[in-house]
Structure 1
């Protein structure tokens, strides 16, 4: 039986965390230790933790930096079992784990890390300095560093050209769990969706990077042609007050609904007239794949590499109200008869099994 270590900053299921959870589900017949550097905030990992082979470990602190210290003490007093695979998906976590491997406090066969965002576009100042320190400190211990897109790999090597000499870096597109999506999409979880009538839906944290201010402004313009249309946004975040003020200024109080966190987004995606990703920047928006699994009318900005190559997705420029408005109108007016099958073919290529096959190929693992 393999021994697996997965380490995360917290238990909230953002895009990066969803990938790690898929890896945990894939390895469910193996022994798995899952560490969270913060106290328990959600129950979103409980179904994974119900497996007798899985141990969930939380540290009762509110900061991932304090959590890293707690993790160090945990490792110091733990027996030195060798992990078959170690998985991470956040730069800070990868740097810490890589350092502990260099210090021989963690023993492993393979350390697989994943880049979760475009660090050098998204951050600056002291936070970027800390991230650069993590690359220097721990990334030499990584056996395989996964970039989500070619653009992400190019951006990373442009900023850190030396990294290619110490770390194997490959592009593997994000996987999607179609079996889990099927279960959730068929669940009886409408939550009164019918009250919104015809609506556009978007989902994600309410942060500037997601571009909801752009989406709301574009929707205001779309409303000139589609009077009864509504906009439903799923998610919480620090920009909520600012977005509410924008909604009020545009007179959209009866038309735009910020309904907060929704555990099962799939019924909302399936019932919408259109699903929209309005992000300014992403590593790759997993929510786009989730939308494609439910709806043939999908609009996305070019917020990550490769999005404009997905067949059937209606593309808009980033940070551009007019371009997003035109893409939404084009999608609403189209008869996307073939798109459903194109989406199905595209998504089947992104199964978790194919993701693992590519990892093992790049690690030169054969029938182990």
Structure 2
């Protein structure tokens, strides 16, 4: 069973719903009661990007557990005061396990979790935990390194355009991993970045993509969630990479591949633990090895040697033979950040606030 809610109707109807909901129910009253699970999304489920990927995971939960769960989701929730209200209202409406899926929801999720210590909360891509608040993240930078490997071989200009959302470590490390991998094939490779300051705004993303192509980029990457940059690439005759899902339907000629977010297994596992009474607050950061990160099928336009190089890099990252952040690495000022052979630690990457040489932001 699914309850589909938009932010506006959820906020408007929450007061009335609270009158009939079991407020703050700490556990399952009867063995036959379904587990009430809620998802909070920053974008629309139709973005065919990041939010869509999480919603694929939600639907996998429903398909796997059937009537053992009752699932609610709220889409288009801004990262601000609204998200705290939405999360709190989900908590007071009988939900026992709440997933908030955007970095900007972190403080609100933590605050509400402290107010409802008997409920279970999980926050994606953040770093703050509590006894009843778990955090989970994907090593997106591993996939972006493979995209960079492809870009370094496919770009004739040696210039990529990068449509970025917000300058948080997750996005910064993706830009850096992409650039470093491209520079393995072309040491002079440059990545030009335009910040859209949004996760999902097709108009802004489209304008950024056009500006980057005008600045000389002949291949585009993005860390925003709509297909708009790909559609611009298709119309302008340049290559591009999708975001979070296979977006080739929107740009069959331009779309080379995409980093694919594969949340299904994680969500099923966490719901199962809640059903079994074995849920605990955990902190995971999974990538290729654990199957949380994947790649969309390659465009047939990619030469065989480019595909082979990408496959090898993916395999080497999966096995641990290659770490995308292995020195020598210099920052934009030319200062050595990692000496030859030194690898960045997880702690370093999770607070990354600098760019490698070749990034123009």
Q: Quickly name the TM-score band, shorter chain normalised.
A: 0.3 to 0.5
Task: Output the TM-score relative to the length of structure 2.
Answer: 0.36
